[in-house]
Amino acid sequence: MAKGVLTGHWRNAFGAHAVTSTPGHPTTVDRLVEDFAALLARDELVGSANEFLSSASSLAATINDTGRVETLPDPFKGRLTEQPPSPDEFYTMFWRMFDRTPASMVQALALPIRRLLAQKIFAHCGDGVIFHHNVLFSKGANISIGDHSLINRYVMLDDRGPISIGSFVMVAAGVTIETHTHPFEDFTLPIAYAGRSQRPVSIGDNSVIGYNAVLMAGVTLGYRTIVGANSVVTKDVPDYTVVGGVPAKAIKQILPPSTGPIWSPSDGRPSDV
């Protein structure tokens, strides 16, 4: 493939059907993949890499111009019915693209932008919620989060099933919350292709989920629970309980004092902090 072919070939190729295929008419994505395979086969990526990346990046502009995000069929749904795509897929894609721009590092801009997007995409997003960069989620429409909670960087919210996060919850960096499992008992199919089952996850108000912890599908965490860093939670956690380890086990309870003032989420954010 001659150097410079990509730019001329794709200059006017992007449009509403850049991703959507029709019988006998390959999409722009199909053609880009074919071109990339040819560049590798001929060992011509050196010298054409910038042109190829520029052409591929134009797909993002097409998504932004049209609002259309085509998703591939789920190869791991097994014999289950394909879940419909989220109606807010474009806003989810925009969030991911925004988080890959230098502007996403400007917190005064990025924090309100992400919160506004969450209020558009999620089932519910309360006031004062903070999302740091590169938070990922499956759909968004199955997530409900209360007021003044923090979702730190590189958190994965697998909301194929419902995720409920209370108010004043801190979710540390690298946390994964799963809502689906695989049917390991089905020997008629490979495990990966045997489908999924959804089980909701709930986190009570005023809780802390430590760095890199994993919450497995179906668990419920009570009020003011604390999960230690790198823990894997496989069972429900009662109120006021600290858990840690793999799998996570109860370490101790931190109960409120019997006398004196006690803050509660209904009091709202303290005015002196």
Residue-wise pLDDT tens digits, 200-224: 999 999 999 999 999 999 999 999 9
Helices (H) and strands (E) in the chain, counts: 5, 19
Peptide bond before 238: cis, by omega within 30 degrees of 0?
no
Half-sphere exposure of 208 (CA within 13 A, CB side): 12
pLDDT category at 83 given cuts 50, 70, 90 is low
pLDDT at 240 over 90: yes
Kindly report, residue by residue over 176-198, the tens digit of the pLDDT.
999 998 888 888 888 888 888 89
Q: Which of 27-31, 88-92, 93-97, 149-153 has the highest mean pLDDT?
A: 149-153
pLDDT at 232: 98
pLDDT at 84: 66
pLDDT category at 16 given cuts 50, 70, 90 is very low
pLDDT at 4: 44
Residue 182 annotated to the active site: yes
Which residues lie below 8 Å from residue 210, measured CB to CB, with a gap of 6+? 172, 175, 226, 227, 228, 229, 230, 231, 244
E-only strand ranges, 73-153: 124-125, 130-131, 136-137, 143-145, 150-151
Kindly report, residue by residue over 33-60, the tens digit of the pLDDT.
999 999 999 999 999 999 999 888 888 8
The first and second tokens of residue 28, run together, are 């722009």
- How far is it, in rounded angstroms, from Cα 256 to Cα 204? 16
List the end-to-end C-alpha distance of the chain, in Å, as a whole number. Answer: 63
Q: Is the dihedral of CA 82, 191, 177, 197 positive or negative?
A: positive
E-only strand ranges, the chain: 124-125, 130-131, 136-137, 143-145, 150-151, 156-157, 163-165, 170-171, 176-177, 180-181, 197-198, 201-203, 208-209, 214-215, 220-221, 226-227, 232-233, 241-244, 249-253
The first and second tokens of residue 14, run together, are 């992007």
pLDDT at 82: 62
pLDDT at 257 over 50: yes
Per annotation, catalytic residue among 9, 17, 148, 182? 182
pLDDT at 231: 98
Proportion of the chain above pLDDT 90, given as a percent: 63
What average pLDDT does the structure give for the chain?
87
Lowest pLDDT segment from 23-27, 110-114, 156-160, 186-190: 23-27
pLDDT category at 73 given cuts 50, 70, 90 is confident
Kindly report, residue by residue over 96-114, the tens digit of the pLDDT.
999 999 999 999 999 999 9
pLDDT at 21: 47
Lowest pLDDT segment from 67-76, 207-216, 226-235: 67-76
The first and second tokens of residue 229, run together, are 């860093």
Task: Phi first, then psi: give them for residue 171, nearest 5 degrees.
Answer: -110, 110
Output the pTM of the full model: 0.84
pLDDT at 18: 47
Q: Which residue has the higher pLDDT, 187 or 247?
A: 247
